[in-house]
Structure 1
């Protein structure tokens, strides 16, 4: 399934009838199993319905970092992001990609 940034926003946990999706490096994961983390009020709810790549790499919860841009990330931040990607792959199903 292909997602635009706008379409992905529909899966931010605000509609209980829809799954919760988070994108990492352009791949969209169904994180509904982690609803307590990614759903409304969860510790990582700011990532729901968005590509969280930059924020994960920078270990940031700042809204301006919650995007798919990897521009300017250091080698260390890319390593952190790659570790996050592996965790997502192990725990959640890929349901699509950002176009």
Structure 2
């Protein structure tokens, strides 16, 4: 994959986990409050974005926190109505955008699990 997705500073990531994360646990990990965990799911994989202030309360990407943001990322949208897991009906070019986001996230954030019962993984 192209170097355009490489982080500016090297990131040491842990091996990806496939631990089940309930929808309730994902929802609670919305970064609200000081020092709170913050997760974003994409295609059912859960990324720990806790260290990035943009996903914390008041941040420009907080709309994605505690949710599967697959559709919104594919559409390059921060509109709350687009923040959902369904993406399979999107055009091939939007699916490519989503896959690019997965590459971007996977080079920066630890995968801490998968959304329990996720049906949007492939």
TM-score by length of 2: 0.76
For structure 1, the 5+ residue unaligned runs are: none
- Work out which of the two has the higher radius of gyration on C-alpha atoms and give 1 or 2: 2
Number of residue pairs the alignment of both structures matches: 98
For structure 2, the 5+ residue unaligned runs are: 1-18, 117-122
- Once the 2 structures are TM-superposed, how far is the Cα of residue 49 of structure 1 from its aligned partner? 0.4
Distance 2:114 2:58 in 1: 26
Distance 1:67 1:2 in 2: 19
User: Which SS does the other structure have where 1:55 is aligned?
Assistant: helix
**Are positions 1:10 and 2:63 aligned together?**
no
TM-score by length of 1: 0.92
Q: Write 1 or 2 for the structure with the bigger share of helix.
A: 1
5 Å matches for 1:51-90?
A: 51-90=68-107
